[in-house]
Chain A
Amino acid sequence: MPMSSSPRDLGSAKSGSHHWLAQRVSALALIVLSLWLVANLLGLVFTPYGNYVYWLKNPINAIGLILFFAASFYHSTLGLQTIIEDYIHRACIRWAVLLLVQGLTLLLAVGSIFSVIFVALK
């Protein structure tokens, strides 16, 4: 495994403390947002399209769903980053996978938030 035995060669933690804090702050936000969403979705998941659109026409629901997607995609990409950095040791593969996952996360985050606004204003 191409890993140094000395922490001295690995450089500083750089953005490590920011990652740690961001994960906790998004976790706190998600406690509220995810429970709110589950409480709303329970009646909604198995209902037809019209009910979902009607639900999204309420600005509180649209804003809540946007906040949920923002917080959860952020929390998700931070967690996935830790997993990737822990298990993929080859630097070039690690960077490639990180880039792919974070790109996909950004794409889906923008896509889902746009879709919420699009349906809410339709």
Chain B
Amino acid sequence: MRPLSPHLQIYRPQITSVLSILHRITGFALSVGLLLLAGLVISAAFGQQSFDLVRGQMSTWYGYILLMGWSWAFYYHLCNGVRHLFWDIGKGFELSTVTTSGWAVLLASLTMTAVTWVYIIQRSSIVRELLSNANVQ
């Protein structure tokens, strides 16, 4: 098989190429997340018991890790998607702008994720819930 461009074995990762593939990876991850969000909403139609069953999985340690991952994937795909839309109307193509907007997207997505989770932890009883779960087990 003829090697395809970019030649990934010898290709030096750059901010542009890494962010580009991240857009696809986060998009795929969000599709899986959407599947589970639909599962949660569908479970609600079957009544409280099935809803609590699904929601209970969200309140576990792996549930929180997945939700944090998805929240970052969401903010990243959103910010980088806006970057793509600007390219679609022909703006921001200068090499320096592409690099700057790339770092800005990364920084913005991480900040939004952090703010989101600080807000959630402050508002809800996640920590208490996790501790009580740990005590039960």
Find chain B residues with CB under 8 A from A76 CB: 27, 30-31, 34
> Which B residues between 42 and 95 are near A, CB-CB below 8 angstroms?
42, 44-45, 48, 51-52, 55, 58-59, 67, 74, 78, 81-82, 84-85, 88
Instruction: Tell me whether A119 is interfacial, beta carbon within 8 Å.
Output: yes
Contact A46–B120 (Cβ < 8 Å): yes
Instruction: Tell me whether B17 is interfacial, beta carbon within 8 Å.
Output: no
Instruction: Tell me whether A91 is interfacial, beta carbon within 8 Å.
Output: no
Q: How far is the CB of B19 from chain A (nearest CB, A)?
A: 16
Find chain A residues with CB under 8 A from B81 CB: 27, 31
Find chain A residues with CB under 8 A from B116 CB: 38, 42
Contact B34–A115 (Cβ < 8 Å): no
Instruction: Tell me whether A100 is interfacial, beta carbon within 8 Å.
Output: no
Instruction: Tell me whether A108 is interfacial, beta carbon within 8 Å.
Output: yes
Contact B41–A34 (Cβ < 8 Å): no
Q: How far is the CB of A48 from chain B (nearest CB, A)?
A: 8
Q: What's the count of A-B pairs with C-beta under 8 Å?
A: 80
Closest to A37 in B: B37
Q: How far is the CB of B80 from chain A (nearest CB, A)?
A: 11
How large, as a class, is the contact surface on chain B? 35 or more
Contact B120–A42 (Cβ < 8 Å): yes
Contact B1–A49 (Cβ < 8 Å): no
> Which B residues between 1 and 45 are near A, CB-CB below 8 angstroms?
1-2, 24, 27-28, 30-31, 34-35, 37-38, 41-42, 44-45
Name A residues whose Cβ lies closer than 8 Å to a Cβ of B. Answer: 1, 24, 27-28, 31, 34-35, 38, 42-43, 45-49, 52-53, 65, 69, 72-73, 76, 79-80, 83, 108-109, 111-112, 114-116, 118-119
Name B residues whose Cβ lies closer than 8 Å to a Cβ of A. Answer: 1-2, 24, 27-28, 30-31, 34-35, 37-38, 41-42, 44-45, 48, 51-52, 55, 58-59, 67, 74, 78, 81-82, 84-85, 88, 116, 119-120, 123-126, 129
Q: Can you list 6 A-B contacts with CB-CB less than 8 angstroms, sorted by A residue number?
A: A24-B85, A34-B74, A79-B24, A83-B28, A108-B34, A108-B35
